[in-house]
């Protein structure tokens, strides 16, 4: 299934995308798509619905984050060897884990706003993993059974804040609008192997990132198992799994986003995003 949340910010309704690519309303079935709706039993109930009997949503409403009530937004750094090389950083022996503020989460096509004082805002297309059932000290073999589904993520990053202001990476990763998710949450039954997904990103129509999850240093099962050793993963938590090469920081000379730019990106089977870049405003 492809599950969505649509409507004005803060007033999103649940929906799904049918086999013809049409948006169907799930409001009569669910109040929202959040932690309580992501377990195997809840998803199995949705699977039994006949999409053709659900109301068709007319027009092209705004899409919000496909998951409400995200408790933790966990990110993995340097998880593609060629991206680590372009960043001038050593390949990690263990996954690099940091946090993105949940307040940065937004819809896939909402504008990205440059933070105040930004001079090095960058792009990163990534595979997002949405947790469906509680995971604590889970084995790598069992890890994917705790996943509800997958989504496209743009891990927008301000490199000055991230790397030149001391402390952890978090301060350059959680600025407002820096976490576009979606357009859909694709349930795990439709993604039998998350290590065979192509990723791409373009700025102003020029493709700058091309990659595939098969080249991850640490695969999805390893990441879920690994992170669950340090914190209990709860339904609705999101793990964004790292980016392939082609970020602005790695270009020669470096290239960063400016107001007026348009970023488009996608992951195979998980849909595409498009964000206009805006100047900072209060």
Domain locations in the chain? 2-53, 73-278
Q: Bridge-partner residues for 17, per DSSP?
A: 2, 23
Say whether pLDDT at 250 is over 90.
yes
- pLDDT of 83 higher than 90: no
Tokens (6 digits) for 158: 């301000």
Residues in the chain: 282
For the stretch 155-203, pLDDT in tens is 999 999 999 998 889 999 999 999 999 999 999 999 999 999 999 999 9
| Protein fold of 73-278 | Fumarylacetoacetate hydrolase; domain 2 (3.90.850)
Q: Cα dihedral angle (222, 225, 226, 227), rounded to 10 degrees? A: 120
pTM above 0.85, yes or no: yes
Strands 198-203 and 157-158: unpaired
pLDDT digits (tens, 9 = 90+) for 86-129: 878 788 999 999 999 999 999 999 999 999 999 999 999 999 99
pLDDT of residue 178: 98
Mean of all residue pLDDT scores within the chain = 96
């Amino acid at each position: 299934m492809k599950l969505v949340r649509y409507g004005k910010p803060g007033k999103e309704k649940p929906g799904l995308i049918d086999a013809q690519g049409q948006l169907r309303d799930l409001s009569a079935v669910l109040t929202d798509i959040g932690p309580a709706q992501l377990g195997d039993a809840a998803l199995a109930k949705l699977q039994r619905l006949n999409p053709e009997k659900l109301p068709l949503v007319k027009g092209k409403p705004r899409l919000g984050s496909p998951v409400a009530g995200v408790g933790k937004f966990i990110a993995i750094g340097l998880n593609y060897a060629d991206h680590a090389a372009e960043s001038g950083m050593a390949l990690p022996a263990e996954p690099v884990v940091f946090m993105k503020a949940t307040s940065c989460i937004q819809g896939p096509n909402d504008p990205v706003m440059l933070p105040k004082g930004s001079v090095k805002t960058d792009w990163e297309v990534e595979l997002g993993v949405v947790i469906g059932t509680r995971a604590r000290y889970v084995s790598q073999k069992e890890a994917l059974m705790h996943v509800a589904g997958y989504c496209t993520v743009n891990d927008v990053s301000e490199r000055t804040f991230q790397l030149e202001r001391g402390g952890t990476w978090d301060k350059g990763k959680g600025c407002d609008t820096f976490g576009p998710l979606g357009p859909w949450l694709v349930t795990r039954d439709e993604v039998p192997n998350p290590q065979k997904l192509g990723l791409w990103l373009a700025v102003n129509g020029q493709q700058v990132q091309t990659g595939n999850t098969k080249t991850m240093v640490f695969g999805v099962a390893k990441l879920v198992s690994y992170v669950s050793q340090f914190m209990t993963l709860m339904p609705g938590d999101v793990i964004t799994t790292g980016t392939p090469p082609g970020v602005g920081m790695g270009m020669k000379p470096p290239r960063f986003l400016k107001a007026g730019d348009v970023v488009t990106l996608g992951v195979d089977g998980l849909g595409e995003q498009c964000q206009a870049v805006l100047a900072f405003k209060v």
